[in-house]
Amino acid sequence: MSPLVATHAFAAGFGLVIGAWQLFLSTKGSTAHRVAGRAWVVALLYVSVSSFWIREIRDGAFSFLHVLSVVTIVTVLLGLVAAVRGDILSHRGNMTGSWLGLLGAGIAASAVPDRELPQLVVHSPGTAALAVVAVLTTSAAVIVLGNRLSRTRTVSSSA
């Protein structure tokens, strides 16, 4: 697996985990939500942009997944602008849609046996397990950092 594909897959895994936490567990609008959200935006933009150099599916040509990358870049940026403007409904819609697109792309990448991710799991399960641990550890670190910053701001504002 090339370093580009490895970092792309890492950022996508991180985006799936942080995105799920954002959607289902975080306190919306909190410092923790904002910290994790910023990391998620960077991860999704990296996944989307890096995909343009990954073209194994169609022998060097762009595929449908590259259309999804363009859509993701647009929706993530629109969601970010909406959050800054306070348009929470638009923010939620764009970010949820982007996460669902990432989930769909992840399922597609995992479901095709010839793709690099399933091949890694079959031929190097130890490396695949380490990658999962790295994604989960990084995700947990971002969430913990956000929660600590949230507590720090709460304590300093109430003092």
Digit-coded pLDDT (tens) for 92-144: 999 999 999 999 999 988 888 888 888 899 999 999 999 999 999 999 999 99
User: What pLDDT was estimated at residue 152?
Assistant: 81
CA neighbor of 142 nearest in space, from 9, 4, 22: 22
Among the ranges given (31-40, 60-69, 80-89, 149-158), the one the predictor scored with the smallest mean pLDDT: 149-158
User: What pLDDT was estimated at residue 94?
Assistant: 98
Burial class (CB in 10 A: 0-12, 13-18, 19+), 98: buried
> Residues, the chain, total?
159
**Helix locations, the chain, DSSP H:** 3-24, 31-50, 64-85, 88-111, 116-123, 125-158
8 A C-beta contact, residue 21 and residue 145: no
- pLDDT above 90: percentage of residues in the chain: 74
* Angle at the Cα of 130 from the Cα atoms of 8 and 23, rounded to 5 degrees: 60
**CA 12, CA 153: separation in Å to the nearest integer?**
30
pLDDT over 60 at 39, yes or no: yes
Question: Across all residues in the chain, what is the average pLDDT?
Answer: 91
Place of tokens 């910053």: 149
User: What pLDDT was estimated at residue 83?
Assistant: 96
Place of tokens 């449908």: 64
Checking 17-26 for CB contacts under 8 A at 24+ apart, the result is 17/135, 17/136, 17/139, 18/43, 18/139, 18/142, 18/143, 19/95, 19/98, 19/99, 19/102, 20/99, 21/139, 21/143, 22/95, 22/99, 23/95, 23/96, 23/99
Q: How much is the average pLDDT of 37-44? A: 98
User: Which tens digits make up the pLDDT trace of 65-88?
Assistant: 788 999 999 999 999 999 999 999
| Largest CA-CA distance found in the chain, in angstroms, rounded | 61
**CA 101, CA 99: separation in Å to the nearest integer?**
5
User: What pLDDT was estimated at residue 154?
Assistant: 65
pTM of the model: 0.90
User: What pLDDT was estimated at residue 58?
Assistant: 64
